[in-house]
Amino acid sequence: MALWAQMTPQLQFLSTQILNELYPDTFPLDVRHYLASWIEEQKWENFDVDNMEQEPQARRLLDQMVHLLQEVAQHNPNVVERVKLQHISRNLSVFQQQPMQLVRTVRDILRKERHLLTQGMQSNFPPFQQIPQGPPATNGTPQPAREDGKTDVDNLVLKVLEIQNCRQTLHQLQEDLNWEKQEMESMQGQNELDPQHSDLVTRQNRIQQLEFNYSVCAKKRMQLLQEAVCALELCQASLILRIKSWRWEQHRATIGLHFDDNLGPLQTWCEQLLGVNSNLRQELMLVKRDHGVVEQFHTLQESLAHVLQTLIQNSLVVDKQPPQVIKTQSKFSTTVRYLLGEKMAPGKPVLLKAQIITEAQARQGVVPNENVGELINSTAILEHNTASKSTCATFRNMSIRKIKRADRKGSESVTEEKFALLFTTELTITGCESPYTIQTISLPVVVIVHGSQEINAMATIIWDCAFSEPDRVPFVVPERVPWKKMCEALSSKFMSEVQTQRCLDRYNLHFLAQKIFDQPDINEDFSNMPVSWAQFNKEVLPGRNFTFWQWFEGVMDLTKKCLRDYWSEGLIFGFIGKQHLHVILQNKPNGTFLLRFSDSEIGGITIAYVGPSDNGGRKIQNIQPFTKKDLDSAGLGDRIRDINCITHVYPDLPKNEVFKKFFTVPSPPNPDGYLPFKLTTVVNPGDQRSSTANIPPDTPMDMFGQPMPTVYGPNMNPAIFSPLPQSTPPYMPEQMSGQGPLYQSPMQQAPSSEEIDMEALEGILSSFCQNTNKDLN
């Protein structure tokens, strides 16, 4: 009884709405109060409410509950309470047909009580807050809690049971009324009794009472039907919202966001609502049989028919999407699942047809007459899998033979044109007379004819997945988005593609902003600056022959295939411009180096190191970037080992200790007598073409390789426009959210940009050393 003892003092702080939600009509507050000890002693959580083998145990609990409640009523001195408890005990018979509903109801009540008490402790009673409705979606839109749908369905089932119980009561009243009238006629026929005879009067009064009870029960029956239909509409609206949310999460998974692809709970929800709809339609027909066409009959009938059609049509989903970039004449597969598959009428197989449609046709929402492409193997049968309890049509060897392009506007490319696959079928649901035509479409796809178009086509898909809105008109996307949204998309896609837990930190992202906007001013706040689709993948970068996305995709591909472990362990600085190297390396001895992605070549990684200059000073040199082809012939670790002019990885760690795990073990002699050979990387440090300006001794340098005192123009305040890295992106978060243990930027612990000096910079960058030391230890 400990739980109820804690709960009782808090009831006064709960709103009427929460109390009604917590203790429904089928299990009122009185039962919880009088049977508190017994209720809390039972093992409600040990039940599997979907396991019918436990139903006898649930029925025993129901019988015990009714018996205990009757005992409490019998010994209650308050007449009003005694009558009320007896009435409640009789009403518990609503659970007789489905005793597992009692278990579910009591279990959920106890869970909600614990939740409310926990919430109250956190907020120091009073007041309670409303029970939460579920986590926010990735785009900030709240989603309905998944357990709420189950609770709503359970309440609907109880409502149907109550209607059925009311119908049975009416049937019993009608039988009693028929009997009493027959006895009345028999007594009147005898002509022996005076009309005022006591027996005759008593029977007349009984008939009047039965007729009154019948009238009240009939009205309650219709009221319950109306309430049930309304509740069904609300519950189904929540279901359809959740299906749309599932599709939206599936869409966003393209850029690496989390997606739970389990459709089992949604299928169960669909099947339960179909069952409730069927029961309500049956009860409505029985109302017509018993009372004729009563008021609201046609309204309820139309509502149920509309709800049924909506459910049947929204239960077709694309379980496994086709590739979103499809090359003509190439095979691909996709799977479509019907969530009401177990309820389809047996007999004729259900054939699902696929066709490709344009963006304009997708907006029309109807099956188009015009074919814009020729699909091979475009039909599949909906087949039920008993083991997984799923009904799916799998298109295993589909192919686009040819495609008809729409007229393009201006500079629009074929890789910007979006299509979709439309799936249609006609089926009949058990218990429904007429067949239903249903359809669903895939996520947008881009059709290409040559592999060279794939990267640009993927840019169209990434932009669509990252920046489209839920419930949009197909397939509308904004032309411009704030840079902070682009940051989220780039970091998420990078982590997903490379399969790493290390995200792009704010300094990486700031360099990317400088690159896409062509603005080297490191103090610029880019977070709300709009970036356009043209800047993303139509306009080439200044001084280059490739777009931003082509370059970024090349880095992802190289990292995924050759450098994943280097990146994940924090051995690669990442995205950093040449002008930043002076700040990082200017006080380091000769031979100190770091790894960074090339910003001048697609899919390249380069080594920047400190070397001697001709005048006895030092200079920073950049080794020609290594591409995937280079690293396939000799790995990065071996190349670092071979290059003699680099000795210590930044800040001062011996390269052979840091990278030894990546060195290739020498091959043993071949059994045929041939001597093995190996490729060796040689760098000529005297090549002046690879060097930046010399670093004068004892002169602080800015990020552009200029002496510090001369960096500021006449209108620039050094206290505001600091050239040091800390001031690079003060507006960005330290890391992108929710992605596990992340790489710590060597500049994340920096002091204020207004007070930073070169000694402080050394302290900031030393965290890179600490990160690398962890790997060594």
Query: Taking 70 as the threshold, does the pLDDT of residue 7 lie above it?
Result: yes
Closest CA to 761 of 742, 773, 746: 746
Residues 180 and 281 in one domain: yes
- 115-171 tens-digit pLDDT: 887 766 444 434 333 333 333 444 444 344 444 566 678 888 888 888 998 889 898
Name the more confident of 758 and 751. 758
| CA separation for the pair 277, 240 (Å, rounded) | 15
- pLDDT band for 717, please (50, 70, 90 cuts): very low
Distant-in-sequence, close-in-space partners of 80: CB < 8 Å, separation ≥ 6: none
Host H or E run for residue 303:
helix 297-314
Of 55, 161, 45, whose CA–CA distance to 107 is shortest? 45
Q: Is 17 within the bounds of a domain?
A: yes
For the chain, what percent of residues have pLDDT higher than 90? 47
Give residue 547's pLDDT: 97
pLDDT-based confidence at residue 570 (cuts at 50, 70, 90): very high
Q: Residue 464, class by beta-carbon neighbours within 10 Å (0-12 exposed, 13-18 middle, 19+ buried)?
A: buried
CATH number for the domain spanning 115: value is 1.10.532.10
Local structure of 343: helix, strand or coil: helix
Residue partners of 518: CB distance under 8 A and separation at least 6? 541, 542
**Least reliable range by pLDDT among 78-82, 144-148, 316-320, 707-711:** 707-711
Strands of 330-482, DSSP E: 332-338, 351-358, 373-376, 379-381, 383-385, 390-403, 419-427, 436-441, 446-448, 480-482
Query: Which tokens is 54 given?
Result: 């436990």
In this predicted structure, what is the pLDDT of residue 3? 84
Residue of 106, 102, 123 lying closest to 10 (CA atoms) = 123
How far apart are alpha carbons 297 and 292 in whole angstroms? 9
Where is pLDDT greater, at 83 or 455? Answer: 455
C-beta atoms surrounding 6 within 10 Å: 15
Number of H helices, E strands in the chain: 23, 20
Q: What is the pLDDT of residue 484?
A: 94
Residues 103 and 232 grouped into a single domain: no
Q: Does the bond joining 746 to the residue before it have cis omega, within 30 degrees of 0?
A: no
User: Which one, of 189, 193, 213, lies nearest residue 201 by Cα?
Assistant: 193
Average pLDDT over residues 168-185: 87
Rounded Cα gap, residues 23 and 82, in angstroms: 20
pLDDT value of position 724: 32
Identify the pLDDT of residue 756: 33
For residues 479 and 460, give the distance between their C-alpha atoms in angstroms, rounded to a whole number: 12
CATH number for the domain spanning 649: value is 3.30.505.10
Bond into 593 cis (ω within 30): no
CA–CA distance, 324 with 437 (Å, rounded to integer): 26
Is residue 250 one of the residues assigned to a domain? yes
Q: Is residue 752 part of a domain?
A: no
Phi, psi of 76 (to 5 degrees): -80, 120
Last residue of a domain, one of 641, 662, 683: 662
Task: Locate 391 and state its tokens.
Answer: 């009904």
Q: Are residues 305 and 325 in the same domain?
A: no
pLDDT of 677 reads: 80
Please check whether residues 79 and 112 belong to one and the same domain. Answer: yes
Whether the CB-CB separation of 337 and 317 falls below 8 Å is answered with yes
Q: Indicate the helix (H) or strand (E) that contains 626.
A: strand 626-627
pLDDT at 364: 87
Q: Which of 662, 695, 725 is the last residue of a domain?
A: 662
For residue 715, pLDDT over 50 is answered with no
Report the pLDDT value the prediction gives residue 709, as an integer from 0 to 100: 37
pLDDT confidence bin for 327, thresholds 50/70/90: very high
Residue 239: the pLDDT is: 94
- The DSSP letter of residue 562 is I
Could you give the dihedral angle defined by the CA atoms of residues 647, 653, 655 and 660, in that order, rounded to the nearest 10 degrees?
A: 160
Assess whether 606 and 497 both reside in one domain. Answer: yes
Nearest-angstrom CA–CA distance, 62 and 101: 10
Same domain, 93 and 178: no
**Measured distance CA(420)–CA(41) in Å, rounded:** 57
572-to-151, 232, 565, 591, 659 alpha-carbon distances in Å:
51, 56, 10, 17, 12
- Position 624 in a domain: yes
SS3 28: coil
Within 538-642, where are the H helices? Answer: 548-558, 564-568, 578-585, 628-633, 636-642
Q: Which pLDDT band, with edges at 50, 70 and 90, does 698 fall under?
A: very low
For 636-649, the pLDDT digits (tens) are: 999 999 999 999 99
pLDDT of 203-222, one tens digit each? 888 888 888 988 999 889 99
**pLDDT at residue 574 is higher than 80:** yes
For residue 602, the Cα-to-chain-centroid distance in whole angstroms is 33
205 in the same domain as 300: yes
* CA–CA dist 147, 152 (Å, integer): 9
What CATH number is given to the structural domain containing 416?
A: 2.60.40.630
Residue 26 in contact with residue 32, Cβ under 8 Å? no
Which residue, chain included where needed, has tokens 């959210």? 737
pLDDT of 513 reads 93
Do 169 and 67 sit in the same domain of this protein? no
368 band by pLDDT with thresholds 50, 70 and 90:
confident
Question: What is the distance between the alpha carbons of residues 431 and 502, in angstroms, rounded to a whole number?
Answer: 54
For the four alpha carbons of 528, 532, 536 and 541, in that order, the dihedral sign comes to negative
Average pLDDT in the 62-76 region?
A: 87
Assess if residue 341 is contained within a domain.
yes
Quote the CA–CA distance of 394 and 336 in Å, as a whole number. 6
- Is pLDDT at 286 greater than 60 in this prediction? yes
Hey, which of 140-149, 558-567, 610-619 has the most confident mean pLDDT? 558-567
Residues 494 and 345 in one domain: no
DSSP 332: E
The mean of the pLDDT values for the chain is 82
One-letter amino acid at 512 equals L
Q: Where are the beta strands (DSSP E) in 521-562?
A: 530-532
Rounded CA-CA distance 593/647 in Å is 8
| Number of structural domains the chain divides into | 4
Residues 246 and 468: their CA atoms lie apart, in Å, by: 15
Measured CA to CA, the distance from residue 570 to residue 593 in angstroms comes to: 14
| 556 and 509 inside one domain | yes
Examine the fold and report which residue of 258, 283, 309 is the final residue of a domain before the chain moves on. Answer: 309
Output the pLDDT for position 1. 58
pLDDT at 692: 58
Within a domain: 739: no
Is 287 inside a domain boundary? yes
Bigger pLDDT: 635 vs 406: 635
Per-residue pLDDT, 192: 56
pLDDT of residue 319: 97
- Domain assignment present for residue 63? The answer is yes
Q: Which helix (H) or strand (E) holds 317?
A: strand 316-320
Tell me whether strands 373-376 and 332-338 are parallel, antiparallel or unpaired: unpaired
Residue 425 shares a structural domain with residue 558 = no
The whole domain housing 226 covers 148-187+198-309
> CA-to-CA distance for 347 and 353, rounded, in angstroms?
19
pTM equals 0.72
Cβ within 8 Å of residue 756, ≥6 positions away: 722, 724, 726, 727, 750, 764
Exposed e or buried b per residue across 43-71, where buried means at least 16 C-beta atoms within 10 angstroms of its C-beta? ebeebebeeeebeeebbebbeebbebbee
Q: Note whether 416 and 446 are same-domain residues.
A: yes
Of the candidates 495, 462, 517, 465, the residue with the CA atom closest to the CA atom of residue 735: 495
Rounded CA separation 359/418 (Å)? 6
- pLDDT confidence of residue 46: 87
